[in-house]
Chains A and B, each alone.
Chain A
Amino acid sequence: MTITLAIETSCDETSCAVLRGGREVLSNIISSQIEIHREYGGVVPEVASRKHIENINMIIQQALDEANIGFNDIDLVGVTQGPGLVGALLVGISSAKGIAYALDKPIVGVNHIEGHVCANYIVHKDLEPPFTCLVVSGGHTYLVQVKSYTEYELVGRTRDDAAGEAFDKVARALGLSYPGGPLIDKLAKEGDKDAIEFPRVYLEQDSYDFSFSGLKTAVLNYLNQKKQKDEKIIIEDVAASFQHSVIEVLVEKSIRLAKERKSDKIVMAGGVAANEGLRNLMMDRGKEEGIKVLYPSKILCTDNGAMIGSAAYFHYIKGHVSDLHLNVEPNLELKG
């Protein structure tokens, strides 16, 4: 079985993983910089890049140690090519190319979004394409029809803020610390989702695209008005109502696409797939429609090397290999 070493540095996690085949994780080391970026209230690209170059070889060594292998056991190197922060991606790709060339082993550049989808193959051992997939995180909101292990059809995307970005911005307005998404999810459980009427933006009738900036503005306006009138803000209710407005649109569009494409599965991926409100609503609606709903474990929802290794493996066995000119593509699109 192919042993893959995979590196992910597209944003603020330095991660390295070792996989056997496409689904078995031997190690998945993730060094999060959240504590550092919290001081700045968000990810600072130059600070992230500095942290990556400081940590990367330690993380690689830890991944090898935990998998109980050495460099010589590696058959394949996988690395995130994009999308992501250019300076951050460059550290991972330079390290990965150095390793692949030194070992004279193939290297595969991986689309980070595909990686998020593939996290599900690790958790759900029987999962096979085709299926409908919702990829939601601080950086991305994509509705994808997964046709095979290496073919993806991008059906919908956000036209402005990513879903997770809207969570973080609303959280900041509520005075919550960075990253705010998980905190909103927590507060929402204590609040009433019907307390405040925030808009649901569905765009054109048959569009699968998303837009969250109007909703974000509506929440900020609501908070300002309350403050001006000196009225008490029940942040649990704001969190619950805002969150419900986001996830209802995410869920309805996912269900509609699955039905249109006759998918019997909806798979969720990305950091916001860890949101319990989203998980629960998707499960409930899936049950009503006879569609199975799957999502990765919490740790595999975040950016991690294992998901990149899985995607790299599936491309490798299809014969898709990069060469040593492989470069970062910060705006890499999902291609079929």
Chain B
Amino acid sequence: MKTLAVDTSTMMATCALLDEDRLLGEFSLNQDMTHSENLVPMIKEMLDNLNLKVKDIDLFGVAIGPGSFTGLRIGIATIKSFAHVFDKPVIGVSTLEGLAFNLPYKGYIVPIIDARRNRIYTGIYNRIKGNLINIVEPTIMEVDKLMELLQEEYDHIIVNGNGTLVYRDIILEALGDQVIMAPKNLNSCRASSIGELALLKYKEGQRDSYYHLVPEYLRESQAQRELRKRDK
């Protein structure tokens, strides 16, 4: 089953092609906000090199967030179009789960995506019999709150994601020897992880729709928040 996956939740634009048991290709570029320009050419470059066309793909996977609202919509709109044109299945995968999946670690895996102004998107995962399990659901919180939580209740922690670069000092100060910072090759969003998770979820029976798939924003827009306040 050929699976094409993309992740444009963060500054990293990444696409990958997997078949049943191998990664056939993966392109990633960490560049400021050029996803709209580069994503489709990047996918084309990868598929051309593999002598494949979009019509040869059996399953589409896409990171649905949390992350940059605009970035997420670029990836999701692109993948929904692919799936729609050939009426193929599409699976949305949490960006945080994708990051956690990068790390084959027997302890607590904590992906951290910067949400700006000292806030982060995060969740807590661990592996039971090799399967990635979500134990604290994806949420937005202050970085200090996460540090408190980890200090008090968790040990053997590994962190990754762009938030670990932004808040590196805070994390090291709070957690010291309890924490491993992921190496660079496992620190960023990888479409290969999104693709492998999409395939797993597809086999477990998950089905998303190219009509209805939308980002997991984890946050209302500012206008929505203000409107809700006004109505109260």
Give the interface of A toward B (CB within 8 A).
39-40, 44, 46-47, 49-50, 52-54, 56-58, 60-61, 71, 86-87, 90-91, 93-99, 101-104, 324-328
Enumerate chain B residues within 8 angstroms of A86, measured Cβ to Cβ.
70
A102: which of B70, B76, B86, B222 is its contact (CB, 8 Å)?
B86
A sample of 7 inter-chain contacts (CB < 8 A) reads A46-B222, A60-B84, A91-B73, A99-B81, A99-B84, A102-B81, A324-B44
B214 touches A54 (CB 8 A): yes
Inter-subunit contact A57/B80 (CB<8 Å)? yes
**Residues of chain A within 8 A of B189, CB atoms compared:** none
- Contact string against A for B residues 65-81, beta-carbon threshold 8 Å, 1 for contact and 0 otherwise: 00001100111111111
Residues of B within 8 A of A99 (CB): 81, 84-85
Given A94-B39, A95-B81, 10 further pairs, Cβ under 8 A: A46-B221, A54-B214, A61-B211, A71-B84, A94-B36, A94-B81, A95-B80, A97-B81, A99-B81, A328-B36
B106 is an interface residue with CB less than 8 A from chain A: no
Q: Cβ of B214 and Cβ of A61 under 8 Å apart?
A: no
**Minimal beta-carbon separation of A69 from chain B (angstroms):** 13
User: How far, in Å, is B81 (CB) from chain A's closest CB?
Assistant: 3
B37 engages A327 (CB within 8 Å): yes
Asked if B41 is an interface residue, CB under 8 A from chain A, the answer is yes
CB <8 Å contact, B73 and A53: yes
Q: How far is the CA of A60 from the CA of B81 in the complex (A)?
A: 10
Q: Is the CB of A95 within 8 A of B78?
A: yes
Residue of A nearest to B77 (CB): A94
**B74 to nearest A CB, angstroms?**
5
- Cα of A56 to Cα of B74 in the assembled complex, Å: 12
User: Is B40 in contact with A324, judged by CB distance below 8 angstroms?
Assistant: yes
Closest to B71 in A: A90
**CA distance in complex: A51, B224 (Å):** 13
CB distance from A157 to the nearest CB of B (A): 27
Chain A positions within 8 Å of B53 at CB level:
104
Q: Would A50 and B85 count as touching, CB distance under 8 A? A: no
Docked-complex contact B223 and A90, CB < 8 angstroms: no
Question: Which DSSP category, helix, strand, loop or mixed, fits chain A's interface?
Answer: helix
When distances are taken between beta carbons in the complex, the residues of chain A under 8 Å from B221 are 44, 46-47, 50
B24-45 CB mask vs A (1 if < 8 Å, else 0) is 0000000000001111110110
Question: With A and B bound together, what is the CA distance between A87 and B68 in angstroms?
Answer: 11
Given A91-B73, A327-B37, A98 contacting B79 (CB threshold 8 A): yes
A98 touches B73 (CB 8 A): no
| Pairwise interchain contact B36-A101, C-beta atoms closer than 8 A | no
Q: B224 touching A102 by the CB < 8 A rule?
A: no
Residue interface bits B213-232, CB-to-A below 8 A is 1, else 0: 01101000111100100000
Once bound together, how far apart are the Cα atoms of A325 and B75, in whole Å? 15
Question: A90–B70 contact, CB under 8 A?
Answer: yes
Given contacts A94-B73, A101-B43, contact A39 B227 (CB under 8 A): yes
Instruction: Please measure, in the bound complex, the distance between the C-alpha atom of A94 and the C-alpha atom of B38, giving whole angstroms.
Output: 11
Kindly state whether residue B165 has any CB partner on chain A within 8 Å. no
Contacts of A58 in B (CB 8 A): 211
Per-residue CB proximity of B82-97 to A under 8 Å, as 1/0?
1011100000000000
B193-227, CB < 8 A from A: 210-212, 214-215, 217, 221-224, 227
How far is the CB of A61 from the nearest CB of chain B, in Å?
A: 7
Contact of A324 among B41, B75, B82, B222 (CB under 8 A): B41
CA distance A97 to B81 in the complex (A): 8
What 1/0 mask marks residues of chain B from 146 to 179 whose CB sits below 8 Å from any chain A CB? 0000000000000000000000000000000000
Could you say which residues of chain A place their CB within 8 Å of the CB of B85? 71, 98-99, 102-103
B55 at the interface (CB under 8 A from A): yes
Q: Does B135 contact A (CB under 8 A)?
A: no
- Indicate whether B54 reaches chain A with its CB closer than 8 angstroms: yes
Could you say which of A86, A90, A96, A328 has the most chain B C-beta atoms within 10 Å of its C-beta? Answer: A90
Q: Which residues of B contact A56 (CB under 8 A)?
A: 77, 80
Most buried by A among B36, B69, B227: B36
Instruction: Give the docked Cα–Cα distance between A58 and B44 (Å).
Output: 25
Within the complex, the shortest CB–CB distance from B66 to chain A, in Å, comes to 14
Question: How far apart sit A95 and B85, CA to CA, in the bound complex (Å)?
Answer: 11
